[in-house]
Structure 1
Amino acid sequence: MFIGTIHPDETRTAELTGNSLEEIHAAAIAQLPDGFELVAAPVQMIKGSTALTATATYRRVDGIREVEADDRGALFAKVPVGWKMLEVREV
């Protein structure tokens, strides 16, 4: 018997603007969806301005669950579309 731990493999993005790195970071945290974590927010300068832009990327971190099967192939076949296998254990 194999047990697999899976979670949704979902990301979201948000476009941000600000006048400093602190403003961009605060805006990214303010738009953080429930169940997600901020994974990136690369900053670019706007030509001819002191303003900054960034695209914040958030990744889902909740929704972990387990699936069971008699063999590894059947276990991986049980992973729904849009989900990712985190761990496989044999019991």
Structure 2
Amino acid sequence: MYIGTIRPDETRTADLTGNSLEEIHAAAVAQLPTGFELVSAPVRMIKGSTALTATATFRRVDGIREVEADTRDGLDTIVPAGWQLLTVRTV
């Protein structure tokens, strides 16, 4: 028996602007959706300005559940579309 831990494979993005890295980070944290974590926010300078822009990427980390199958291949086939297989264990 194979047991897989899965979660929704969902990401969201937000465009941010600020005058410092601290402002960009604060803006990203302020827009953090419930059940998500901030995974990246690469910063770019705006041409002709001291302002910074970033596109924050948030990844869903909640909604975890387990699925079971008799074989490893069977486990892969029952993972729903839009979900990610995180771990696999046997019993």
Q: Deviations over 1:21-66 (max 9, x none)?
A: 1110000000000000001001111011111100000011111100
Tell me by how many angstroms 1:4 deviates.
0.7
- Residue matched to 2:53: 53
Aligned residue runs from structure 1 range 6-85, under 5 A: 6-85=6-85
Q: Give the TM-score, by structure 1 length.
A: 0.96
The structure 1 segments of at least 4 consecutive aligned residues displaced by more than 4 Å after TM superposition are none
Letter in 2 for 1:81: A
Please give the alpha-carbon distance, in whole angstroms, between the structure 2 residues aligned to 1:19 and 1:51. Answer: 5
Please give the alpha-carbon distance, in whole angstroms, between the structure 2 residues aligned to 1:67 and 1:80. Answer: 10
Q: Give the TM-score, by structure 2 length.
A: 0.96
Gaps of 5+ in 2: none
- Aligned residues: percent identity? 79
Q: How many residues align?
A: 91
Gaps of 5+ in 1: none
- Indicate the RMSD between aligned Cα atoms, in angstroms: 0.7
